[in-house]
């Protein structure tokens, strides 16, 4: 994982998003959930679990660096989000654990990311922020009978710039850059 000062660019244009990772204990909680999913869906590998804050799409290195410089110069508040609802988004065919935006710090961080993205030339977001962790793909509906879900309280300490890389073995999400979130920041 890159340190704060590093910005590892793999070359060429890349498909990017801004998000946060899950800690090892949360990954294990999600492993138990993934094991209970029906066979018709494709579970997301544990190492790919993350909470997306802003999808950016195809990006050049200069555009991504400009975004990251804007974010590095901004106040990035630490936040908490409670994920407790299983949703199926049939258009995207994903099953996810989601929750509402209730923490003002997350609302502020979302604004900061949107402003930095706009200054770097990214288009406005297609959707309002809806915190979620994608659990499975190829999902057309929620599992029946309903599966038991833990409540996941995500309290990240770092913001990451992820690359989405499609490979014959599946999608990977390497981290290209990271910045600390500032605990105790009041909005």
pLDDT, tens digit (0-9, with 9 covering 90-100), for 98-129:
999 999 999 999 999 999 999 999 999 988 99
Residue 63 lies in a domain: yes
Based on the structure, what is the number of domains in the chain? 1
Share of the chain above pLDDT 70, in %: 94
Structural domain boundaries, residue 170: 14-180
What is the CATH number for 97? 3.90.1140.10
Residue 186 lies in a domain: no
Q: What are 175-186's pLDDT values in tens digits?
A: 999 999 998 766
Low-confidence spans in the chain with pLDDT less than 50: 1-4
Query: Residue 40, exposed/middle/buried by CB under 10 A (0-12, 13-18, 19+)?
Result: exposed
Residue 8 lies in a domain: no
Q: Which helix (H) or strand (E) holds 112?
A: helix 104-119
Residue 156 lies in a domain: yes
Structure tokens at 173: 């999400």
For residues 117 and 91, is the Cβ–Cβ distance under 8 A? no
Residue 93 lies in a domain: yes
Q: In this predicted structure, what is the pLDDT of residue 2? A: 46
Question: Could you tell me the pTM of the whole model?
Answer: 0.89
Q: How big is the chain, counted in residues? A: 187
Residue 1 lies in a domain: no
């Amino acid at each position: 994982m890159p340190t704060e000062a590093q910005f590892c660019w793999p070359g060429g244009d890349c498909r990017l998003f801004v998000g946060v990772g899950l800690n090892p204990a949360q990954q294990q909680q999600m492993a138990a959930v993934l094991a209970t999913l029906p066979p018709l869906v494709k579970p997301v590998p544990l190492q790919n679990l993350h909470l997306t804050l802003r999808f950016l799409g195809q990006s050049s290195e200069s555009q991504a660096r400009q975004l990251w410089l804007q974010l590095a110069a901004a106040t990035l508040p630490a936040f908490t989000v409670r994920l407790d609802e299983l949703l199926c988004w049939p258009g995207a065919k994903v099953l996810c654990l989601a929750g509402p935006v209730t923490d003002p710090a997350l609302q502020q961080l979302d604004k900061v990311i949107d402003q930095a993205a706009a200054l770097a030339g990214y288009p406005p977001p297609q959707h309002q922020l809806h915190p979620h962790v994608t659990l499975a793909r190829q999902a057309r509906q929620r599992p029946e009978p309903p599966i038991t879900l833990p409540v996941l309280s995500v309290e990240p300490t770092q913001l990451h710039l992820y690359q989405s890389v499609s490979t014959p073995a599946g999608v990977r999400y390497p981290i290209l850059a990271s910045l600390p979130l500032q605990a105790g920041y009041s909005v």
